Amino acid sequence: MKNKKVWIAIAALALAMIAMDCVLAFAQPTLQQGSKTIVVEVIHKDATTKEFTYQTDETYLGDVLIEEGLIVGEESELGLFVTQVDGELADYNVDKGWWQLSKDGVIAQTGVSDTPIADGDHFEWTYTIG
Amino acid sequence: MGDHPARGLWVRDLVLYALLGAITFAAKIVMAPLPNIEPVSLMIMLWGAELGYRSIFPTLVYVGLEWMVWGFGLWNINYLYIWPLLAGAAWLLRGMQSPLGWAVLSGAFGLFFGALCAPVYAISGGWAYGLSWWVAGIPFDLLHCIGNFSVALILFYPMRLLMKSLFTLKN
């Protein structure tokens, strides 16, 4: 009887895993192929802003920005951790500063390496304290 | 100051719980290079199953060490309730002998880790932010589930036996 309960629990766990996989597949954004034009706005620590326009065939934002030399970062198991944007380094240990990525003013839900791009997208990198 | 047995036992238990919390943290650091394998869930389940309500002490020591080393963020709030929740679940299931059963508990905890953390992000940034935060972390939750299941299946039962025998020696 006890073994039966354990096997039911294992089956439930497996079903939960499958369900979450389905949620993930359903929520994945569709990837746009072909040439796209995107705008990336950088808001520096001193509040000055710069805008960069890129035309690219890349699918993910990280690939474009690395190729264009706009960002520098460290690879981690969670993806690229961006430390430098447009030549400005953010060091959390110095001033609790870090670079925040957003799209049309909304904080990005994925890292720069996993953020897909579409034609006309507008991204922002904001130097953030704390 | 006389030798007061009750106070001596109290101090000894405090030291023990601090050590258990520190061992949990150290084990996590040592196993950090292994992808998606973490011993914390296993150890918190052990403390919960064997120490009951007193498992809150090594759990909070572990959480405190995490805060001191990794700094502050929303995850600090997550850790305050997630790990005690696991310890509580382990205590409720303390009579379970099946290694598979403990592996399922650990695997389920890993699978729903993101979902358990998401409410804090939802409260802080809105339900849409919390939901998308959870969905973005699902790949890690799936790997966490498999890692936790495997580690608990192999190690929980022998470590529990070891813990029981060590506590028998202590008393």
Tens-binned pLDDT, residue by residue, of chain B (171 aa): 344 445 555 888 889 999 999 999 999 999 888 877 889 999 999 999 999 999 999 999 999 999 998 888 888 899 999 999 999 999 999 999 999 999 999 999 999 999 999 999 888 878 878 888 888 889 889 999 999 999 999 999 999 999 888 877 655
Q: Do B138 and A10 make contact, defined as CB atoms within 8 angstroms?
A: no
- In this prediction, residue A75 carries a pLDDT of 80
- In this prediction, residue A78 carries a pLDDT of 64
Q: Which residues of A touch B107 (CB under 8 A)?
A: 13
- In this prediction, residue B3 carries a pLDDT of 45
Q: Do A23 and B100 make contact, defined as CB atoms within 8 angstroms?
A: no
Helix (H, G, I), strand (E, B) or coil at A99: strand
Among the partner residues A6, A17, A23, nearest to B101 by beta-carbon distance: A6
A23 at B interface, C-beta within 8 A: yes
- In this prediction, residue B5 carries a pLDDT of 47
Among the partner residues A2, A20, A27, nearest to B142 by beta-carbon distance: A20
Q: Region A70-81: what's the mean pLDDT?
A: 81
Give A130's strand partners: none
State percent of chain A over pLDDT 90: 53
For the whole model, what pTM was predicted? 0.69
- Whether the per-residue pLDDT at A38 is higher than 90: the answer is yes
- Which strand (E) or helix (H) includes residue A76? strand A71-76
Interface test mutation site (partner A, options B31, B135, B140, B150, max chain A beta carbons within 10 A): B135
CB B170 within 8 A of CB B116: no
- In this prediction, residue B2 carries a pLDDT of 42
Distances (CA, A) of A33 to A29, A37, A59, B101: 13, 12, 7, 46
Q: How many CA atoms lie within 13 A of B5 on its CB side?
A: 0
Among the partner residues A6, A13, A77, nearest to B111 by beta-carbon distance: A13
Interface test mutation site (partner A, options B132, B148, B153, B156, max chain A beta carbons within 10 A): B132
Measured distance CA(A116)–CA(A113) in Å, rounded: 8
* Min distance B132 CA to chain A CA atoms (Å): 6
Give A127's strand partners: A99
Confidence of residue A60 (pLDDT cuts 50, 70, 90): confident
- Beta-sheet strand order (sheet of A36-43): A49-56, A36-43, A122-129, A97-103, A106-107
Q: Do B111 and A16 make contact, defined as CB atoms within 8 angstroms?
A: yes
